[in-house]
Amino acid sequence: MKGAWLGTKAKAYIPPFLLEENMKEEGLVEYFEHFLENNTIFKKKLVLQSHYAPNTITHRDEQINAVAKILAPTLRGEQTSNLFIYGKTGTGKTLVVKHTTEKLLHIAQQRDIKVKVVYVNCKLKRVADTEYRLLAQLARSFGKEIPATGLPTDEVYNVFYEVIDSTRCINILVLDEIDQLMERAGNDILYNLTRINSELKESRISLVGISNDLSFTDKLDPRVKSSLSEEELVFPPYNALQIQDILRRRSDLAFHENVLEPGLIEKCSAYAAREHGDARRALELLRVAGEIAERECQQQVLIAHLDKAEQKIENDRVYHIVRTYPKQSQVILYAILCLHLKKRELFFTGEIYELYEYLCKKLNFRPLTQRRVSDVLSELDMLGLIRARIISKGRYGRMREISLSIGETILPLIKKTLEESLGL
């Protein structure tokens, strides 16, 4: 049972492909001791983690100043314009907003000015991804407990208005990944939030919306758009040199001296720049490369580790999605997998549905309708597990042309996982 001891706790489950070949039960104690003694790679790994907030933010001075200028009037007790920030992932939007609001709060506290900042990530599943949940979450952050469900939304609005008004101060609501909220809950919630000040007597609210989706404002209701985007800021992606600089600063804190192979940072930033200047991804890559080097008991993080890290991150992602996917969707993915393994490059919606129906019959599942399967297929496409393209074959109809985009290295494991999960 190689590695079973690592896999007993469901949440900390480590996929089999990560397990060390050289780690047998008898060597366990030695391994742990060796691990502790040989802490030669990381000085402070935390620095490379995505939620780490550095003291100084590099290459974002312009944006910090802009946010500060817009939010500064709160210090005089004035309501500010609503601010809308957009830029691709890993361009430092959240970091800049959190950094600036923290400093603002600091000054406010020193001068005894009543300002409150509430940060909510609207993407968080089952936390703030619907109208009700967002309001409940906001009310909660003002100290009012609201049940997870059961109350009418109107009532939650009332509670929220009351609790906000009772603060008697300027409140800055930061809604991160606001596009996700819009997608799920529609324009109404944003419209209501932008109009909230007319309902309040004692307090004021300023909204800061953050979105990864550059075309988000196009989808907004014009009424919401004009009031939410009173001020707009675009965060450009970092270029390779900037990412290099960021990586260098962070790695100085995170790693011991001379641990990184020369050229590693450059390679890492080149990877990230290729991925549209995503600094978060670059840091993750560096951290995982370090972890791999550590696990291999190496003294240095090598470029080869970087390549492994890239592969590992992708494999982990795919593996996690597949394992946590609902059963029905797993059957659909399995059908696609089977078609792919029949060494077919491309296949179409109809073929997949046919095989899916067959598999359902075999598994004693009630098959979903084609309509639903169509949605699942586009979900799979969005998750990057398949590539789907809508094509028209003229007289022979319009359909998705689908190919699998799971790496060949992880394919056998995915197949096995699906078979185990489905009991095939």
Name the phi and psi angles at 200, rounded to 5: -90, 145
Q: Counting contacts by CB under 7 A, is residue 371 touching DNA?
A: yes
Q: Counting contacts by CB under 7 A, is residue 132 touching DNA?
A: yes
Nearest CB to DNA, comparing residues 178 and 246: 178
Q: What gap in Å lies between CA 61 and CA 57, rounded to an integer?
A: 8
Q: Counting contacts by CB under 7 A, is residue 160 touching DNA?
A: no
CA 279 to chain centre: 13
Q: Counting contacts by CB under 7 A, is residue 306 touching DNA?
A: no
Q: Counting contacts by CB under 7 A, is residue 420 touching DNA?
A: no
CB of 340 to DNA, least distance (A): 17
Scanning 124-132, 199-207, 246-254, 405-413 for contacts with DNA by CB under 7 A, the matching segment is 124-132
Name the phi and psi angles at 84, rounded to 5: -125, 125
Q: Counting contacts by CB under 7 A, is residue 344 touching DNA?
A: no
Nearest CB to DNA, comparing residues 296 and 354: 354
CB of 398 to DNA, least distance (A): 4
Q: Counting contacts by CB under 7 A, is residue 393 touching DNA?
A: yes
Nearest to 100, CA basis, from 51, 63, 143, 128: 63
Residues 179-208 close enough to bind DNA by CB under 7 A: 184
CB of 144 to DNA, least distance (A): 12
Among 8, 110, 149, 324, binds DNA (CB under 7 A): 149
Scanning 123-131, 203-211, 295-303, 314-322 for contacts with DNA by CB under 7 A, the matching segment is 123-131
Q: Counting contacts by CB under 7 A, is residue 389 touching DNA?
A: no
Q: Counting contacts by CB under 7 A, is residue 350 touching DNA?
A: yes
CB of 373 to DNA, least distance (A): 7
Nearest CB to DNA, comparing residues 266 and 351: 351
Phi/psi zone of residue 301: left (φ > 0), alpha (ψ -120 to 50 degrees), beta?
Answer: beta
Among 247, 289, 399, 404, binds DNA (CB under 7 A): 399
Q: How many residues bind DNA (CB under 7 A)?
A: 43
Q: Counting contacts by CB under 7 A, is residue 153 touching DNA?
A: yes
Q: Which residues bind DNA (CB under 7 A)?
A: 125-126, 129-133, 147-153, 184, 326, 328, 348-351, 353, 366-372, 374-375, 377-378, 390, 392-400
